[in-house]
Amino acid sequence: MVISQKIKEAIQLLESKKDKKSLVLLAADIADTVIYIYEEKFPEDNAPKEAIKAARDYVNNKIDRNTLVEKSEAAWSSRINYYRIEEEIEQEALQNNYDKYLIHRLKSEKVYHLTHSLYAAARTSTAAKTSNFPGTVNQAFDIVREATWAEALRAGKRTRTGFDEEGLKAYNKKMSEIGEIILKYI
């Protein structure tokens, strides 16, 4: 699945303006739309949501870089939560002699939507702390991908060529939603 041409063009327009603040705020708005997926499974872990807030606060000069880095690292450390689920799947697979395809399918159904949701949040803080502007642009593109994949994998299943019908509907709906968010910034 690829990012729609209109969304690429909108992000490139922000890139041409060299408007890092708008790109980071855009990234935060997009990440906000999928963080609930992670929070449903791990309600006690506030680090990803705090990383999104820290990104906004940093570009609005409300916190210093050290605080941003701290919040960003905490969000990335949250990966341990879904690593535990993957480990449980691996253990189940060993006990029941599952083949590689079944293991991948189980991870796809139980873990990958969480991964993409978390990554959207963590990448937002990375976009804010990135010192070179092209790095911020790359993070913005990655956050769009993470958000669309999080929704698609939550709603449907991964296939060899993309997503099943439900996943594709969710993917397209998220793309439209992101397009509406982007309009606020251009």
Residue type, 58: Y
Write down the pLDDT at residue 183: 86
Write down the pLDDT at residue 15: 78
Q: Where are the alpha helices (DSSP H) in the chain?
A: 5-16, 20-32, 35-41, 47-59, 65-77, 79-96, 100-110, 112-129, 133-155, 165-183
Average pLDDT of span 3-11: 78
Burial label for 117, CB within 10 Å (0-12, 13-18, 19+), is buried
Write down the pLDDT at residue 3: 67
The string of pLDDT tens digits covering residues 54-84 is: 999 999 999 999 999 999 999 999 999 989 9
Question: Both tokens of residue 1?
Answer: 């699945």
Write down the pLDDT at residue 52: 97
Average pLDDT of span 20-26: 91
The string of pLDDT tens digits covering residues 101-151 is: 788 778 877 888 899 999 999 999 999 998 888 888 888 889 999 999 999
Question: What span, in angstroms and rounded, lies between the C-alpha atoms of 59 and 63?
Answer: 8
Domain assignments of the chain as residue spans, ordered by start = 5-183
Instruction: Give one word for 162, left, alpha or beta, with left for phi > 0 and alpha for psi -120 to 50.
Output: left
Q: How confident is the model at residue 1 (pLDDT cuts 50, 70, 90)?
A: low
Given CA atoms 61, 67, 73, 79 in this order, what sign does their dihedral have? negative
Write down the pLDDT at residue 69: 97
Mean pLDDT estimate for the chain: 89
Among 16-25, 33-42, 123-132, the range with the most confident prediction by mean pLDDT is 33-42
Nearest to 2 by CA among 184, 152, 156, 183: 152
